[in-house]
Structure 1
Amino acid sequence: MSGESRGAAARHAARRQLPIGEGRGQWGIYFAHPGANVRGNDEFPSTAPDHRPTILFRVVDEPKWHQLYRGACLGCDWEGETRERERDAVEDAHDHAWPGWRDLPGVKPSKSNYERWLSDVKRAYPPGWLEAGGPIVTIRADSRFSRHSPGRAPGGGYDLAASYYQTKKTQRSAQEALDLEFHVGGAE
């Protein structure tokens, strides 16, 4: 839409100024993603220094009612291309905010001894990655149907489902990520 502000925070503020139900067609931060909290406080605190991924969405009626998504950043005015699927927009936002995330090993979620698991993950990930609010890539029971979850990584970043992440050249399957997990040294 012409005349709209650019950037996640500006778009969300403009959408919130409209009466309920009149924001249709305008971009705003998608529900339950960083920056969307309507109470004004951030339920996903982050120590990310410059860039922080979030997702924009808008409702369109033509040719039929559906939602569109864009990756966006809370630290600058960057916005990704329009996507049909939320997970693609989440990945775009992480390409912007956390370059190199696609090379992270996938890990299984902790089932017991969380401290040991976290120590193993920190050894496998770049130094300070999780502490700075970086994402974690997890292998879930059936990652094909798992969503990328904001605020679920140690440190407050996204928990990205392993089957969804792709490199620019090839796609990694959940099995390949599982093989990487064994090199992490994580416990089940």
Structure 2
Amino acid sequence: MIWSIILFVFEFIVVKAGSVWFRAQLWTLSIVPALVAVVYMRWSAFGVLYSALGGIALCFASGASTQQYLIYTLGNLFSVVLLLFLKFIGKEKIRDSVFTSIIFALASALSMQIGRGVVAALLGNGIGSIVTFIATDIISELFAILIICITRKLDGVFEDQISYLVRVNNEENEKGGRE
């Protein structure tokens, strides 16, 4: 629930700030790829829900049309590709390596951008929609990398939550045994 609130509040602020202060810019900034990457790392497949919520949050904040809701919500579901990273690379390797963490963050952003472009193309907006979504969201990719690099350093944030809870419990038990 807390992560949902964070997602909606920050996406609303970013969208409103962009539409008020930077109206003429051809780029957008979204916190969704970064938060989605963190949620996939923490709770695996639950990240799919957050990717859809991210599309809804962006559309809600921007007063989007029904077609845009479809594009962003369904397109963001392409983030499901992150489950392949988790399965074949593993959460520990992703978390422990700066390089794989960066690739994971990029995959989060790019999968959703490509997904939006594919959905937009299927809805009649042309195949060029894929390039448009990637080009306008390039700052979101950089932002996702930055956020993931920061969260890697915070204990328990960019980590599987079951592993984290087991680790913390073991540390508490070790402390209790020494006292």
The two structures have a TM-score, normalised by structure 1, of 0.27
**Greater RCO, CA 8 A, separation 6+:** 2
The two structures have a TM-score, normalised by structure 2, of 0.28
Between Structure 1 and Structure 2, the one with more strand by share is: 1
